[in-house]
Amino acid sequence: MIVSYEIPLLLLLLVTAGGAILVKDLMSAVLLLGSYSFFLALVWAWLGAVDVAFVEAVVGAGLATVFFLLTLFGTNPKDTRLRRRPPSLATLIIFPLLGLLLLYAASDLPGFGDPNSPASVHISPTYLEQSYQDTHTPNVVTSVLMDYRSLDTMVETVVIFAAGIACALLLRRHA
Amino acid sequence: MLRPHDSIIVQTLGHFLIPVVQIFGLYVLFFGQYGPGGGFVGGVILGTGMILSVLIFGHDASRSQVAKKVLHVDGVGMLIYAGVGGLCMIGGGEFLNYANLEIPGMETASRRSLGIVLTQVGVAVDVAVTAVSIVFSLSAEDIVEDSING
């Protein structure tokens, strides 16, 4: 499954994620987080989830970076250097164990693209077969999001709206 | 308060780039039914174009007035989305069941296609306005003093 050019991609993902955590300067951490989102978008595209990759590239690498930078500019510049205590012994023991547990659980997941996995036998075939006749929309992702699961998408939109309102109420004093 | 950027390169690129970004956002929004994209991404790109104009030309420039006016339509996106759902109920069906949109001479599948387009426009308006609104909130002049002094 894993071909030679995907390994550097996953390595870059690990390096940028680790770098964003370890780097001392908050400005550098924000930019590293942006590049992490960009590499993550490439991974989504490699896995075939082009819509998710598009959102990740636009929101993660573009919009979130702008928000983080504006927040940094708006706060006291002396705060941008991070002082972090070294992790305690309990953290060093518990988190690797948790990681091992998750890896053990992940070995039980169905293989990538397995036609007999529960996700591909339940309702997905119905959507794939009937969405064009039902909605005249060639992109199945759009027809599932906006038609079959329209109420979910509406509530997601409410969440975004609430986020904007909350920011305005908290940060804008007179505008 | 954001002041205009003083680099001539950034200003010139802004003049050129912002219309292209906006057109691309509209393309992504309406092409979402045929390829990757859709209301959410299209809205973010449209919002990003307006954010660019605010970042490059400053809060008070005439080019940023569109972004400022956009703040007044906060909530219209939600209204479009829920309004389509309400129209479906008026048509005699369930909330957001686009097959019940009352348009004479259209078959069911085309009605559902139209419903998808309308709700995508609603999502895009909501997301674009929210993105611009958060940028205006984050760059308001009185944040710094308020957060330091109490």
Domain boundaries, chain B: 8-149
Confidence of residue A7 (pLDDT cuts 50, 70, 90): confident
- Residue in chain B closest to A171 (alpha carbons) equals B137
Q: Which is more confident, A81 or B80?
A: B80
B116: nearest CB among A66, A142, A165: A142
Tokens of A143: 């027809």
- A:B CB pairs within 8 Å: 152
The pair phi, psi for residue B34, each rounded to 5°, is: -115, -15
Q: What is the pLDDT of residue A22?
A: 85
Long-range CB contacts for residues A109-117, cutoff 8 Å, separation at least 24: A112/A1, A112/A47
Q: Nearest CA of chain A to the CA of B10: how many Å?
A: 16
- Range with the poorest average pLDDT among A104-108, B53-57, B111-115, B139-143: B139-143
Q: What is the pLDDT of residue B148?
A: 42
A74, B133: Cβ pair inside 8 Å?
A: no
pLDDT digits (tens, 9 = 90+) for A15-69: 999 998 888 888 888 999 999 999 999 999 988 889 999 999 999 988 999 999 8
Tokens of A113: 């693209």
List C-alpha distances in Å: A21 to A14, A83, A98, B26, B50: 11, 12, 19, 36, 31
List C-alpha distances in Å: A74 to A64, B136, B139: 15, 12, 7
Give the residue-averaged pLDDT of B21-32. Answer: 92
Q: Which residues have C-beta within 8 Å of that of residue A53, sequence separation ≥ 6?
A: A41, A42, A44, A45, B36
Confidence of residue B146 (pLDDT cuts 50, 70, 90): very low
Q: Are A76 and B148 contacting, i.e. CB atoms less than 8 angstroms apart?
A: yes
A153, B123: Cβ pair inside 8 Å?
A: yes
Is B11 an 8 Å CB contact of chain A?
A: no
Q: What is the pLDDT of residue A3?
A: 63
pLDDT digits (tens, 9 = 90+) for A126-153: 888 888 888 888 888 888 888 888 999 9
Is A98 an 8 Å CB contact of chain B?
A: no
Is A80 an 8 Å CB contact of chain B?
A: no
pTM for this one? 0.85
Q: What is the pLDDT of residue B109?
A: 86
B36: nearest CB among A54, A150, A173: A54
Is B49 an 8 Å CB contact of chain A?
A: no
Q: Which residues of chain A make contact with B128, given a CB cutoff of 8 A?
A: none
Q: Where do we find the tokens 């990740």?
A: A56
Is A11 an 8 Å CB contact of chain B?
A: no
pLDDT digits (tens, 9 = 90+) for B102-141: 787 778 888 888 889 999 999 999 999 999 999 888 887 6
Q: Provide the residue type at A71 as one letter.
A: T
Tokens of B18: 């912002």
**Best of B30, B33, B59 to mutate (most A CBs within 10 Å, chain A):** B33
pLDDT digits (tens, 9 = 90+) for B59-88: 777 777 777 788 888 889 999 999 999 988
B116, A167: Cβ pair inside 8 Å?
A: no
The pair phi, psi for residue A81, each rounded to 5°, is: -95, 135
Is A138 an 8 Å CB contact of chain B?
A: yes
Q: What is the pLDDT of residue B150?
A: 36
B130: nearest CB among A71, A146, A161: A161
Q: Which is more confident, B66 or A121?
A: A121
Q: Nearest CA of chain A to the CA of B112: how many Å?
A: 5
Q: Which residues have C-beta within 8 Å of that of residue B30, sequence separation ≥ 6?
A: B42, B117, B120
Q: What is the pLDDT of residue A5?
A: 76
Instruction: Give me the helices (H) in chain A, please.
Output: 6-22, 26-46, 50-55, 64-74, 89-106, 118-121, 124-135, 140-143, 150-171
Rounded Cα–Cα distance for residues A152 and A145 (Å): 8
- Residue in chain A closest to B38 (alpha carbons) equals A142
